[in-house]
Structure 1
Amino acid sequence: MTAITFTVNGTPAPQGSKTRTRYGMFESSRRVKPWREVVTQAASIAADNACLLGPLHPPYRVDMWFYIKKPRTTRATHPVAPTIGDLDKLARACGDALTTSGLIQDDRFIVSLHVDKEWAGEDGPGVIISVEEFGR
């Protein structure tokens, strides 16, 4: 069973909310495209460092730990502000990036997903992602 773990630094962005215009549907968050590109690049580098010749074999177990920058003034013990994004939408952006990077064949093959969201510490905001071949 192959497992790959890597860290992505930056501000996580949610994917999934759409805005309808007369020209079609667009992502509501302008931050999601740059965030997905950073995750895609980090996943590609992790795959190269692990000497993978292709994507991992499905199905997959994926763990994600999101770290969100804490505002200067908040009483919240956990990152739950509306501007941060839903946990499932943060995971969706990373799942698509894992597929784009070639680390996994498709995010539809993720059969186990564990996702946490916490305030960032000294290392700053970002995500730690672990991808494992499941059931082989």
Structure 2
Amino acid sequence: MSTVAFHVPGTPAPQGSKIRTRYGMREASQRVKPWRDVVTQRAAVSAGEEHILGPLEPPYTVELWFYILKPRTTRATHPVAPTIGDLDKLTRAVGDALTKSGLIVDDRFIVRLVAEKQWAGSDGPGVLIRVTEVTS
């Protein structure tokens, strides 16, 4: 059973909401593509550091801890503002990035997902990711 864990610094961006344009559909958030690219790159680097040749063997457990930068003027105890993004949309961006990086075969093989979001501490915003192969 292999496990790969790594931290991706940066501002997490939600994926999922679409905007119709005259050229077709595009992501509503312009931040999602750069965020997915950073996660993809960090996942590939982490796989190399762990000497993993090719994707992990499916199925997978994925654990995600999102750290969101706290605004100066909020009294909220948790990151729930509309501008932050839904937890399911934040996880969607990470799942696609893990697939694109080659760390996992496809995000449809994620059989257990644990995710939470909280205010960032001194380490700043980002996401801590742990992917584990599930054994029978």
Provide TM-score, normalisation by structure 1.
0.99
| Corresponding residue number in structure 2 for 1:47 | 47
Q: What CA distance in whole angstroms lies between the structure 1 residues aligned with 2:45 and 2:53?
A: 12
SS of the residue corresponding to residue 43 of structure 1 reads helix
Q: Deviations over 1:67-121 (max 9, x none)?
A: 0000001010000000000000000000000000000000000000000000000
In the other structure, the counterpart of 1:65 is 65
Mapping for residues 77-116 of structure 1, pairs under 5 Å: 77-116=77-116
Give the equivalent residue in structure 1 for 2:3: 3
Equivalent residue runs for 1:29-40 within 5 Å = 29-40=29-40
How many pairs does the alignment contain?
136
Letter of the 1:63 partner, please give it: E
* Cα distance in 2, alignment partners of residues 69 and 53 from structure 1: 35
What SS class does the counterpart of residue 112 from structure 2 fall into? strand
Q: CA deviation at 1:64?
A: 0.1
Q: Distance in 2 between matches of 1:32 and 1:55?
A: 23
Cα RMSD of the aligned pairs, angstroms, is 0.6
Q: After TM superposition, give the deviation of residue 21 of structure 1 in Å.
A: 1.4
3-state SS of the aligned residue for 2:47?
A: helix
Runs of 4+ with >3 A deviation: none
* CA displacement at 1:23 relative to structure 2: 1.1
Give the secondary-structure state (helix, strand or coil) at the position aligned to 2:8.
strand
Whichever residue aligns with residue 30 of structure 1, its letter is Q
The two structures have a TM-score, normalised by structure 2, of 0.99
Counterpart Cα distance in 2 of 1:50 and 1:3: 9
Residue 135 of structure 1, CA deviation: 2.1
The answer for unaligned runs of 5 or more in structure 2 is none
Tell me how far 1:22 sits from its aligned partner.
1.9
Aligned-partner Cα distance in 1 for 2:3–2:72: 37
Percent of aligned pairs with the same residue?
A: 70
1:129 is aligned to 129
